[in-house]
Amino acid sequence: MTRPPATLRDFYENPAVPVASGAARSRRQARLLARALGPVRTGAPPATILDIGCGDGSAAAVAAEVLTGHRLVGVDWSQDALRRARTRIPWAVRGELTDGGLPFATGSADAVLFSEVIEHLVDPDTALDELRRVLRPGGHLMLSTPNLAAWYNRGLLLAGVQPVFSEVSMRGIHGRPGTQVVGHLRLCTARALRGFLTASGFEAVRIAGAPYHDVPRPLRPLDRAACRVPSLASILLAHARRAGG
């Protein structure tokens, strides 16, 4: 979403680069937001929800099944991703988090979904400023991102192995498990994420844990169990509100 160097833009325009997260995680995040928004009231206007960094629209399509009665708009700067998103969701528009910002008025959104985007950003500070701008006071931010301190990463670091989710090259995998380059530039722990959101003008920050769909099958029960302690979980799910509401 933040305008990167040309080589990084080319990376994300490559159709082979993954632009979707797990459906189960998207559904859980949508349910958390549905509870926060409350039931749709008869005669009341629908809530406007922006899926910033919607990728191919698959996560937004899953969320729309849960967030019935609300208006869900996908936003991405990748033209290839948007072409695919428009086959899955009614509204998908091009937008960036810098260089003029998102194509929405200040305070026009009731909620923002920001799923597995922040780890790809060159300038996350400006990105959070822009998300705060488009949210109404008290509006909801639902953010998910991989956890640098996931239970298995702690063991890998002790063994001198590069943590899962982290990358040292955009051209190949070096020193960590996995076979696919996904373009992660930044990773955080639960404590760091909470502090970053608070410093960026958000309040009532709550963090939950979610499993990672690529964990080897024999380890998945352990990965699900780790979600009970968010600081150990594979994925961090943060719910915060724009301060001032």
Mean pLDDT of the chain: 90
Which residues, 6+ apart, have CB-to-CB distance to 185 below 8 Å? Answer: 119, 120, 121, 122
For residues 127 and 97, is the Cβ–Cβ distance under 8 A?
Answer: yes
Phi and psi at 56, nearest 5°, equal -85, 5
| Residue 52 main-chain phi, psi, to 5 deg | -85, 120
Question: Looking at residue 9, what is its pLDDT?
Answer: 63
Indicate the pLDDT class of residue 180, thresholds 50, 70 and 90: confident
Whether 223 contacts 215, CB under 8 Å: yes
Prediction pTM value: 0.90
For the residues 21-31, what does the mean pLDDT come to? 84
- pLDDT bin (cut points 50, 70, 90) of residue 98 is confident
Question: How many residues belong to the chain?
Answer: 245
Contact 50, 70 (CB under 8 A): no
pLDDT-based confidence at 235, cuts 50/70/90?
Answer: very high
- Average pLDDT of the segment spanning 119-130: 95
- Between 62 and 244, where is the model more confident? 62
Question: In degrees rounded to 5, what are phi and psi of residue 207?
Answer: -125, 130
